[in-house]
């Protein structure tokens, strides 16, 4: 695609320089609220661009890894300041290119600075342990060392938070990075490169490329200089990445899909549960792996909860994501829009009934009304497969045993929530629910920067992300036996 003169053109960041794709090709990104608006033109990178980025990271690794960790952290503080200075611009760009409501985009943009500051603090945390030796005059300890070049393949749905929570631990522990941004939200991610450039980060430490995963991502997966790969995306693509990369002994971390249950017990605070279910299912137009996909409600309060949820949906602000009061905006692009609408039709065809939504809500934008299904069979498509949009389903249950069993009866295990005042129920939920992130009396989405984030079953593979857990993936352990000199 040739570059248009009506939109700003953006380039890759490789070796500390801004450069066009080696092919000279580019692609347009359009506003999902008003698709006739081009929000930017981006480098349609090819394998040669990925190779150049890897080579720059290889060259930068010796000096970056030798730099004391507190000196590395100094760049993080400067980059965090730069992000905070442009939070509003990042948020507006995010809203324009992928449709996230402005109020959510502002929160995500500010969170990126928080993640950087947390990771900077890792420079002052232990990176090894001292052990009692089994012989005299010996010191026995472990050290954590960086791996080398790390490839990061990130999605479009959290276009600043996910790239930052991957690259921050990778860099602070001494690795160099090649970051492949989500195809549908490149402008947001390029702000990260701009902020690190403003911070004076040495050339080649962070390299950022845009374009298709089938070209750039594929090169990162196969390149022998890439020692580790962290991927967030679909199950099918993630498993393909894992299989190819691990075959060459590359370390792999996957964060994949979710089909997250939300259990409402008879003793729940229904108003709180309703608000949490609405937020979990429909914020970000349901385009997040931690979104609420299945709402299981105990018989005694099913009708009361249903009434509250439908009333909350009817009162929701749905529409222009640039309006600060909007709660639900469009989905990211035409392709996902068509997939979600097809899933809604499949749900109807398999016997589900639509209690709310199920229709296009704007004749120009890719806006889908918040959708709630009922009477969906446990083995139906909507009960088993992730629909990445503003679609959830209501189910009745009788006992806690039934709720836990049905909640666990999918291949995914990322996040789950329960609303109850019963300590016994919360203990069983914490012990038996098969998910990596458990919420008691809060929504299924949300993640603090200082604790592990990751799923079980087909929702993840490899060590979890964020917090101290990130060290497990981005470093390798070396055991050192140091004997005292004899003389």
Catalytic residues: 255, 289
Give the CA count within 13 Å in the CB-facing half-sphere of 93. Answer: 24
What is the distance between the alpha carbons of residues 469 and 113, in angstroms, rounded to a whole number? 19
CB atoms within 10 A of CB 245: 21
Pairing of strands 251-255, 460-461: antiparallel
Hey, how many other C-beta atoms are within 10 angstroms of the C-beta on 317? 14
Structure tokens at 175: 């690795």
Helix, strand counts (H, E) of the chain:
15, 23
* Alpha helices, H only, 181-234: 186-198, 218-222
3 state SS of 60: helix
Q: Compute the CA torsion angle 457, 460, 464, 465 (nearest 10 deg).
A: -150
Rounded Cα–Cα distance for residues 143 and 129 (Å) = 7
Give the whole-angstrom CA distance, residue 52 versus residue 41.
21
Q: How many CB atoms lie within 10 A of CB 28?
A: 16
Strands 176-180 and 206-209: parallel
Helices 102-121 and 161-172, axial angle in degrees (round to 10): 10
CB 467 within 8 A of CB 452: yes
Structure token pair of residue 72: 């590395």
Point out which residues pair with 263 in neighbouring strands.
296, 418
Phi, psi of 477 (to 5 degrees): -95, 135
Which of these, 440, 431, 436, lies nearest to 452 by C-alpha position? 436
- Asked whether the CA dihedral 346, 352, 354, 357 is positive or negative, the reply is negative
Residues 6+ apart with CB under 8 A from 254: 231, 232, 238, 239, 241, 242, 460, 461, 462
Specify whether the CB–CB gap between 280 and 259 falls below 8 A.
Answer: no
How far apart are alpha carbons 5 and 15 in whole angstroms? 27
d(CA 31, CA 94): 10
Q: What is the CA radius of gyration of the chain?
A: 23
Task: State the maximum Cα–Cα separation within the chain, in Å, rounded to a whole number.
Answer: 85
């Amino acid at each position: 695609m040739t570059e248009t003169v009506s939109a700003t053109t953006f380039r890759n960041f490789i070796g500390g320089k801004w450069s066009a794709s080696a092919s000279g090709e580019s692609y347009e990104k359009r506003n999902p609220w008003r698709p006739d608006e081009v929000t930017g033109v981006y480098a349609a990178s090819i394998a040669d661009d990925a190779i150049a980025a890897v080579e720059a990271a290889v060259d930068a690794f010796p000096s970056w890894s030798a730099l004391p960790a507190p000196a590395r952290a100094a760049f993080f503080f400067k980059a965090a300041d730069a992000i905070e200075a442009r939070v509003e611009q990042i948020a507006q760009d995010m809203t324009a290119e992928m449709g996230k409501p402005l109020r959510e985009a502002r929160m995500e943009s500010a969170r990126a600075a928080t993640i950087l500051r947390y990771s900077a603090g890792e420079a002052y945390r232990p990176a090894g342990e001292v052990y009692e030796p089994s012989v005299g005059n010996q010191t026995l300890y472990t050290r954590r060392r960086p791996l080398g070049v790390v490839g990061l393949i990130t999605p479009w749905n959290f276009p600043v938070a996910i790239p930052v929570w991957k690259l921050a631990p990778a860099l602070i522990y001494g690795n160099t990075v090649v970051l492949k941004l989500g195809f549908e939200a490149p402008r947001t991610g390029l702000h990260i490169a701009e902020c690190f450039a403003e911070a004076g980060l040495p050339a080649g430490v962070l390299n950022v490329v845009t374009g298709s995963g089938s070209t750039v991502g594929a090169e990162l997966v196969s390149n022998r200089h890439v020692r580790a790969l962290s991927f967030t995306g679909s199950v099918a693509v993630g498993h393909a990445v894992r299989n190819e990369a691990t075959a060459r002994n590359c370390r792999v971390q996957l964060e994949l899909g979710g089909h997250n249950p939300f259990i409402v017990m008879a003793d729940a605070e229904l108003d709180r549960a309703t608000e949490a279910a609405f937020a979990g299912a429909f914020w970000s137009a349901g385009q997040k792996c931690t979104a609420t996909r299945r709402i299981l409600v105990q018989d005694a309060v099913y009708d009361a909860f249903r009434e509250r949820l439908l009333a909350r949906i009817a009162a929701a602000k749905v529409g222009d994501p640039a309006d600060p009061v909007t709660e639900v905006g469009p989905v990211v692009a035409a392709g996902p829009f068509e997939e979600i609408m097809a899933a809604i039709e499949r749900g109807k065809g398999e016997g589900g009934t639509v209690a709310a939504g199920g229709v296009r809500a704007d004749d120009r934008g890719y806006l889908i009304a918040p959708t709630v299904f009922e009477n969906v069979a446990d083995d139906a498509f909507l009960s088993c497969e992730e629909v990445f949009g503003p679609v959830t389903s209501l189910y009745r249950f009788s006992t806690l045993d039934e709720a836990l069993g049905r909640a666990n009866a999918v291949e995914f295990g990322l996040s789950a929530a329960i609303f109850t005042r019963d300590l016994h129920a919360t203990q069983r939920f914490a012990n038996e629910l098969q998910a990596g992130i458990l919420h008691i009396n809060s929504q299924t989405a949300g993640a603090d920067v200082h604790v592990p984030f990751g799923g079980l079953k087909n929702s993840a593979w490899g060590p979890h992300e964020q917090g101290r857990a990130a060290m497990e993936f981005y470093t390798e352990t070396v055991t050192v036996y140091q004997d005292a000199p004899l003389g």
